[in-house]
Amino acid sequence: MILRIIATLVLLFAFSSLSWSIEKKGLINIPGLYLGLSVIKDTASYNFERIESSNALPFLDFDHFDWHGSGYGGELFLGYGKRFINNFYLALEGFYNASSNEGNIEFTDSNALYTRALHGTFRQRWQYGIAARPGFYLNEHSLLYGRIGYLISNIQLSGGITQTGVLGNFSGKFSSDKDCQGLQLGLGMEIAVNSKLNARIEWVWNTVQDFANQSLIKDSNLNPYTTFRTASNVTLEQIKIGLRW
């Protein structure tokens, strides 16, 4: 957590320095060019499935549950937009955001043959992409816009399992680090604060491709177990509040 706070402060300092340099050199005065910063509240949702089997035993273990997580983050964005046909607007925007978004789960399976303690964590650490922002000016100071884009999102999945009982004992860990492609949709509003500064609020919905991993472990009786884990319907909902120059 401390490292994330430090990283966020570094990003804020870098952004402040960059915006000052751009404005000082006059680049910010290029018509249509803008950059900005947002703070984010993240909420993630997964459908998680775990199937474990052994070719040495008449054994099948199955878990299926919804997995949720949340966190806070920050975003930097750079874009170019233009007003046309009176009140219509279109922009192309690149973005990068980092987040503390994390979800944890822990449960125990127990029967006459074994007791199993399982735990897991997923983290959606960062994502970047590009989006189009078509919009319409409600008046000279207020812009209502939509968002559609492509993104790459980094997802980490990790955890462990410990088994005891007459079937055999073992303890193992798993981890997975995936960069998943996805679609971004959203709706937002910008309001002019002054001639150079706009405030914005956005609701953004991201969905990325399913991802899976596999692991193999043996118990104290040398029985092998193969585990398949799959996360599907992976979504990330974001509320963003920001400023753009």
**pLDDT value at residue 46:** 85
Cβ 214 vs Cβ 227: under 8 Å: yes
What digits encode the pLDDT tens for the residues 185-215? 999 999 999 988 999 999 999 999 988 878 8
Q: Which helix (H) or strand (E) holds 114?
A: none
Report domain extents, the chain: 32-244
Cα gap 234→66, rounded to integer Å: 10
What digits encode the pLDDT tens for the residues 131-171? 999 999 999 999 999 999 999 999 888 888 888 988 888 88
Average of per-residue pLDDT across 102-113: 84
How would CATH label the architecture of 32-244?
Beta Barrel (2.40)
Cβ 16 vs Cβ 23: under 8 Å: no
Could you tell me which residues come within 8 angstroms of residue 219 by beta carbon, excluding any fewer than 6 positions away?
163, 167, 168, 169, 170, 225
**Tokens in use for 120?**
């897991």
pLDDT at residue 23 greater than cutoff 60 = no
Q: What is the pTM of this model?
A: 0.80
CA 183 to chain centre: 12
Q: Is pLDDT larger for residue 143 or for residue 85?
A: 143
Report the chain's mean pLDDT, rounded to a whole number: 85
**pLDDT value at residue 22:** 52
What digits encode the pLDDT tens for the residues 31-64? 889 999 999 999 999 888 888 888 877 777 777 7
